[in-house]
Amino acid sequence: MKQGKFITLEGGEGSGKSTQSRRLVERLKLHGLDVVATREPGGAPGAEEIRNLLVRGDIGRWDPLTETLLHFAARRQHLAETVWPALAASQWVVSDRFADSTMAYQGYAQGVGRDAVERVQAAAIGGFLPDLTLILDLPVDVGLARAGRRTGGEDRYERMGLPFHQRLRDAYLDIAAREPGRCRLIDATQNLDAVAASIWTTIAGHFKLAA
């Protein structure tokens, strides 16, 4: 079914994923590619409703396993309505977060465990994975300082405390080490242009695109 390419951007709070996702989409379009920009949780009407349950409100409103199930419910809908149809139509899809976020946030940082998340993932989406995942990495204090300047009220995860966010960074580093063929670490301490350049160098090399 998958004829297009699926690229995901991952990282902790304040790592710049959303900004770099937008810049990457525009760069791919300049190369004549038909690109769909999307995000998680969300990316489809029902999934966006679930997003509001996850990114707002009290930090302890969900049991961690319940939270895992909510993320995968949103993800399944996102795939069914947005990602899979786009890939089948030979479009490229760039998503701000995907399943690695659930593994990092719930599996590692909230203690659900890799095995439990992997079982839920297998039931919800089978073996479907991105063609390439870019993990934007930076020190926790830097990311939280950047995230603290954002507005809009979607700050539930940002308020989970420094130890949570350190576990989250460690989780992403472990995920990258486990899957070096799919995951690439990007130094997100650089300025926006330098990060975008690093991302494009990685994308162009992986997919054999012109610079």
Q: What are the residue boundaries of the structural domains of the chain, listed by start? A: 6-207
Residue type at position 175: I
Neighbours of 99 (CB within 10 A): 26
Fold of 6-207: Rossmann fold (3.40.50)
3-state SS string for 123-179: HHHCCCCCCEEEEEECCHHHHHHHHCCCCCCCCCCHHHCHHHHHHHHHHHHHHHHHC
- Residue 96 phi/psi, 5° resolution? -80, 95
Separation between Cα atoms, residue 72 and residue 116, nearest integer Å: 12
pLDDT in the model for residue 130:
98
- Residue 183 phi/psi, 5° resolution? -105, 140
Helix (H) or strand (E) holding 22: helix 17-30
pLDDT in the model for residue 210:
82
Kindly tell me the burial class for residue 89, based on how many C-beta atoms sit within 10 Å of its own C-beta (0-12, 13-18, 19 or more).
exposed
DSSP state of 15: S
Q: Which of 150, 70, 152 is nearest to 110 (CA)?
A: 70
Q: What is the distance between the terminal CA atoms of the chain, rounded to a whole angstrom?
A: 28
Separation between Cα atoms, residue 47 and residue 109, nearest integer Å: 23
Separation between Cα atoms, residue 111 and residue 103, nearest integer Å: 10
pLDDT in the model for residue 163:
95
Helix axes 192-207, 17-30, angle to 10 degrees: 50
pLDDT in the model for residue 3:
83
pLDDT tens digits, 8-65: 999 999 999 999 999 999 999 999 999 999 999 999 999 999 999 999 999 999 999 9
**Positions of the chain with pLDDT lower than 70, given as ranges:** 1-2, 150-152
Three-class DSSP category at 90: coil
Q: Quick one: tokens of 34?
A: 């038909």
